[in-house]
Amino acid sequence: MLALLAPGQGSQTPGMLTPWLELEGTRERLTAWSELAGLDLVELGTVADADAIKDTAVTQPLVVATSLLAYEVLAQRYELPDDLVVAGHSVGELAAAAVAGVLSSDDAVALAAVRGREMAAACDVVSTGMAAVMGGEPNDVVAWLADHDLTAANMNGAGQIVAAGPVDAIDKIVDEKPDFVKKIIKLKVAGAFHTDYMVPAQEKLREKAKDVQVSDPTRTLLSNADGRRVDSGAEMLERLVDQVTLSVRWDLCMNTMKDLGVHVTAELPPAGALTGLARRELTGATTAALKTPDNFAKVTEALA
């Protein structure tokens, strides 16, 4: 069984769209999405430097558009299995919802643009941040973070939890690393994503979502909220809005993949982070990071 994974913010790299734009029709597709996003996604994905694409308002629609562009190429070239499992991490859930048939690709990019823009604005209101906590028993780490007024914003599995909250609290846990964790790394992000600090952005996204038409998923679609399969398009849209302030439970998504018997994972571009987690957590599974069209062969070989 194949799981198609859509990455989130932080996975972007300069020039990540360049190999995809060499394919017929992709530049026109991206130009249309640029109009919806109010950004030049072609320039941002080809010649812009790392600083230009780390802005939350830019990164989120750019990452979603990159994933969906690659998916459309993949779907044109290969017949994907009927039992395909789809999951996205954070903003990657918008791309995953489109792959599963809940949203149109156009709506997914448009929603990502609103989400990114409004989350960036929310980050400017209060000084907040995030840090990756590596190692430690998850319940102990979560309780320790709560004692420091921090939230476990991402439960990524494979020994990785991302803390979010006030900058001074983030700095404190970095300085006072307890013995029961291996490492704490302060992340270069605009603010505390997936916490109540993002409520203003969530409300703006909710307003935008009112105009979006949805369909029930045609593929097995997993939710970041609890790792469970979602069978209703309306419910998935509601979860996509709620997800702005809820923790990302990627650990539970991977647990569900195990239960479903996933033995191959393919991460859409900009790929890498989710493939690394899958290698450590999904024992025995074949993984493929689809950074360029040439990487498609890894998926077909594994399924064969």
CA quadruple 33, 37, 42, 44: dihedral positive or negative? negative
Last residue of a domain, one of 161, 186, 211: 186
| Number of domains present in the structure of the chain | 2
168: domain CATH number? 3.30.70.250
Could you tell me if 269 and 67 are in contact, meaning their C-beta atoms sit under 8 angstroms apart?
yes
Residues 100 and 35 placed together within one structural domain of the fold: yes
17: domain CATH number? 3.40.366.10
pLDDT given at position 304: 65
Q: Could you confirm whether 194 is annotated as catalytic?
A: yes
Helices (H), the chain: 26-37, 41-46, 56-77, 92-99, 105-123, 138-147, 167-175, 199-209, 233-242, 250-260, 273-281, 296-303
Residues 216 and 181 placed together within one structural domain of the fold: no
Residues 199 and 173 placed together within one structural domain of the fold: no
Residues 119 and 132 placed together within one structural domain of the fold: no
CA quadruple 193, 195, 200, 203: dihedral positive or negative? positive
Residues 206 and 284 placed together within one structural domain of the fold: yes
The arrangement of strands across the sheet holding 160-166 comes to: 151-157, 160-166, 128-134, 183-186
pLDDT given at position 262: 95
Residues 102 and 209 placed together within one structural domain of the fold: yes
Residues 28 and 144 placed together within one structural domain of the fold: no
Task: State the burial class of residue 17 (Cβ atoms within 10 Å of its Cβ: 0-12, 13-18, 19+).
Answer: buried
Residue-level pLDDT, tens digit, the chain, 304 residues: 999 999 999 899 999 999 999 999 999 999 999 999 999 999 999 999 999 999 999 999 999 999 999 999 999 988 888 899 999 999 999 999 999 999 999 999 999 999 999 999 999 999 999 999 999 999 999 999 999 999 999 999 989 999 999 999 999 999 989 899 999 999 988 999 999 999 999 999 999 999 999 999 999 999 999 999 999 999 999 999 999 999 999 999 999 999 999 999 999 999 999 999 999 999 899 999 999 999 988 887 777 6
Residues 171 and 70 placed together within one structural domain of the fold: no
Residues 101 and 237 placed together within one structural domain of the fold: yes
Could you tell me if 118 and 200 are in contact, meaning their C-beta atoms sit under 8 angstroms apart?
yes
Place of tokens 């991402």: 154
Q: Could you confirm whether 90 is annotated as catalytic?
A: yes
| Three-state secondary-structure class, residue 73 | helix
In this structure, what is the dihedral angle of CA atoms 133, 138, 140, 141, given to the nearest 10 degrees? 20
Nearest partner of 193 among 86, 93, 106, 278, judged by Cα: 93
Residues in the chain: 304
Residues 103 and 14 placed together within one structural domain of the fold: yes
Catalytic pick from 11, 34, 90, 223? 90
Could you tell me if 153 and 248 are in contact, meaning their C-beta atoms sit under 8 angstroms apart?
yes
Whether the full predicted model's pTM is greater than 0.75, yes or no, is: yes
Catalytic pick from 34, 89, 105, 194? 194
Residues 49 and 173 placed together within one structural domain of the fold: no
- The 3-class SS string of 265-302 reads EEECCCCCHHHHHHHHHCCCCEEEECCCHHHHHHHHHH
What is the span of the domain harbouring residue 153?
Answer: 128-186
Residues 24 and 165 placed together within one structural domain of the fold: no
Which is it for strands 183-186 and 128-134: parallel, antiparallel or unpaired? antiparallel
For 236-265, the pLDDT digits (tens) are: 999 999 999 999 999 999 999 999 999 999
Last residue of a domain, one of 186, 207, 233: 186
